[in-house]
Chain A
Amino acid sequence: MRRTVGALLRKELLVELRTLQSVPGMSLFAVSTFVVFHFALNRSSVEGDLASGILWVTLLFAAILGINRLFVADSEEGGFDAFLLAPVDRTALLLAKALTLLTFLVVLELVAVPAFALLLLGPSIGRALPDLLGVLALGDLGVAAIGTLVAALAVRTRARDLLGPLLSLPLLVPIVIGGARATAPLLASGHVQAPAPRWLLTLGLYDLIFGLIAYALFDFILED
């Protein structure tokens, strides 16, 4: 299984490095959105709930761009068939794709969080950074599990560009709520508070539930 996941992950990252179809688009979208917020809100800086909401909603929409493209090369170039013909555990594809999406999200955040701090955020992000990274990591796990499941489902339909976001958005809303609530105290001005444990627990539980659902359903989605 590890060897198969490794081969699949290596292939995914090679294809992305050669085509640059997902991560640059996701990053550019996030930075552009921050610029739009900057002018639309007519404020030079934001903090607290508003800052947290802007950050999570932007990351959510940028993630959807990546989710929509996650299986496109496999669908268009026959990678699905080639994988299905191989004598390997199909869960390997779920794990490899989820890890790929997770990698894309981490790279996106490496660009988006500093850009957010520079363009919009009022308070300094320095002291809040370790906690913020923890909350983002919890959110990323859920997005990766849900995104992989939805992308595999949508790519086999003719309306994949529409179906991907339509299915992802409602499923990802609890992650945005949990992530935004957990992040808000970190981005408040003055004394930085730790995220409320209940929101971290909510995110963790949601990740676990959708991780298990993805594991249970993925084989059926791949089947004819």
Chain B
Amino acid sequence: MPALEVEGLTRRYGEREALGGISLRLEEGSTLVVFGPNGAGKTTLLRVLASLLRPHDGTVRVFGRQLPQESWSVRGRVGLLGHEPLLYRELTARENLLFHARLHDVADARVDGLLESLALSGRCNEPLRLLSHGMVQRAAVARAVLHDPALLLLDEPHSNLDPAALELVDPLIGAAAGRTRVICSHDPAGGLGEADVVLGLRGGRPALLRDARDVTPQEILELYR
């Protein structure tokens, strides 16, 4: 069973079509990397796959479950790392993660393990607003993988992270973790390195959908021109 099956997906905001005519299929354990200029519909696609936005047309199946009708059975199997960390600024990293652990019925020990592995233990008792962007991003990574999701939806996951932090997050959100991933990226070389399948979006429409081995960085750069 494929992890993702999308057929003729359309999503509008008012009169404006943010996504249209998107069809794709992704096998479990594979990585789809989505490229496209700002406003191309990448984030909207992630939010539809996360069941946070309804498709207005077409069908979307995640692990065989149709969205939005069966979204209740998909929740908890999806981890979303977007532009916002989805964490409360006034709470500490540990308080935030413990809160999410309760929502996902995850043991507290998992929180401490993640804080340790992401080198956040030393400052996990300070309010998030006092931490650097990089540390907040690491906390957001911990939040996204806390419940060990089978599908990871990552929107420019490496933003704000220095090389040392990239090494820390890689075992959790990298290919080695073995999860099915959808990654939005603006980095042709880095993105292609991660991808099994490439989707290029322009104006909400698919401009490129191919096996990553058949795509060159030059073709991706063309999407931005």
Tell me the A residues contacting B by CB distance below 8 Å.
Answer: 3-4, 6-7, 10-11, 14-15, 18-19, 73, 77-79, 81-88, 223-224
Contacts and interface: CB of A to CB of B under 8 A. Distances in A.
B80 A11 contact: no
Contacts of B103: 4, 7, 82-83, 86, 88
A3 B50 CA distance: 24
Given A7-B103, A18-B127, A224-B53, A85 B88 contact: no
A171 B55 CA distance: 34
Given A18-B91, A85-B80, A86-B76, A77 B53 contact: no
Given A78-B86, A84-B75, 17 more contacts: A7-B103, A15-B90, A18-B90, A18-B91, A18-B127, A73-B90, A77-B87, A78-B82, A78-B84, A81-B50, A81-B80, A82-B100, A85-B51, A86-B75, A86-B103, A223-B54, A224-B68
Given A78-B87, A84-B75, A87-B72, A11 B50 contact: no
Interface in B78-103: 78, 80, 82, 84-91, 95, 99-100, 102-103
B210 interface: no
Contact of A15 (B78, B80, B88): B88
B141 to A, nearest CB: 14
A5 to B, nearest CB: 10
A26 to B, nearest CB: 18
A87 B102 contact: no
Main DSSP-derived SS at the B contact region:
loop
14 contacts: A7-B99, A15-B88, A15-B90, A18-B90, A73-B90, A78-B84, A79-B88, A82-B100, A83-B103, A86-B100, A86-B103, A223-B68, A224-B52, A224-B68
B60 to A, nearest CB: 13
B25 interface: no
B104 interface: yes
B76 A87 contact: yes
B72 A73 contact: no
Main DSSP-derived SS at the A contact region:
helix
Contacts, number: 76
A224 to B, nearest CB: 5
A109 to B, nearest CB: 25
B127 to A, nearest CB: 7
A85 B50 contact: yes
Contact of A11 (B51, B91, B104, B143): B91
Given A18-B127, A77-B89, A85 B78 contact: yes
Interface in B93-152: 95, 99-100, 102-105, 127, 143
Interface string B30-71: 000000000000000000001111100000000000001000
B63 to A, nearest CB: 13
B143 A19 contact: no
Nearest to B79: A85
A81 B91 contact: no
A3 B107 CA distance: 13
Contacts of A88: 103
B102 A4 contact: yes
A86 B75 CA distance: 6
A3 B89 CA distance: 23
A77 B85 CA distance: 8
A78 B99 CA distance: 14
A75 to B, nearest CB: 11
Most buried by A among B50, B75, B82, B103: B103
B96 to A, nearest CB: 9
Most buried by B among A10, A15, A78: A78
